[in-house]
Chain A
């Protein structure tokens, strides 16, 4: 029997729109301690009610505003400075 893996908490940066195969692949790969950051086309997930978002989810403000989603409340909006800070907090980062 394989021993349980200790997974390093991971920051996932996802810029693909829901519907892109990598979008689903990313969501399926999330572990308990991970954080998902939606950027670029990825922020459209917040407008897509067929998408079940993890509790730990952020979205880049500039990308939300560009797409007229600045008022959304499904995820905490962050700016690029926040994103920098998140990349310092997580030693393992996957850019999808």
Chain B
């Protein structure tokens, strides 16, 4: 039974996104089927070349690119949210599947979970 972890909060201003990533990586570590969905302001996690050292935080770009290696099935991003926040093929991190139909992504997973 697959779990979809949803990240709808933007990076760095709160820890919810990081805590969501920890959840998805834990599922993968225990060989449980898991996928990630970034939507709303959460898509801003997926912008290339983030440099959060200046605010005392670590970038998640490496974690995200490592996700498939660790067994995370797929990383979805809501297409409408990407358009809203000016994210496209030029500046999205690699390995992201754009989802035009958010409802279909939600329905495809038994568990739909937020970290907070």
Query: A residues bordering B, Cβ < 8 Å?
Result: 2, 5, 7-8, 21-22, 25, 28-29, 31, 92, 94-96
Contacts and interface: CB of A to CB of B under 8 A. Distances in A.
Contact of A21 (B40, B103, B110): B40
A25 B104 contact: no
Contact of B41 (A8, A21, A92, A95): A21
A91 B106 CA distance: 15
Given A5-B104, A7-B107, 13 more contacts: A2-B104, A5-B108, A22-B8, A22-B40, A25-B8, A25-B39, A25-B40, A28-B102, A29-B102, A29-B106, A94-B106, A95-B113, A96-B114
Interface string B97-116: 00000111011101011100
Interface of B: 8, 39-41, 102-104, 106-108, 110, 112-114
Question: How would you classify the secondary structure of chain A's contact residues: helix, strand, loop or mixed?
Answer: mixed
A21 to B, nearest CB: 5
Contact of B114 (A2, A8, A31, A95): A95
A95 B102 CA distance: 17
Contact of A29 (B103, B110, B114): B103
Given A95-B114, A96-B114, A5 B107 contact: yes
Contacts of A95: 113-114
A92 to B, nearest CB: 7
7 contacts: A2-B104, A5-B104, A21-B41, A22-B8, A29-B102, A92-B110, A94-B112
A96 B9 CA distance: 13
A58 B70 CA distance: 40
Nearest to B104: A5
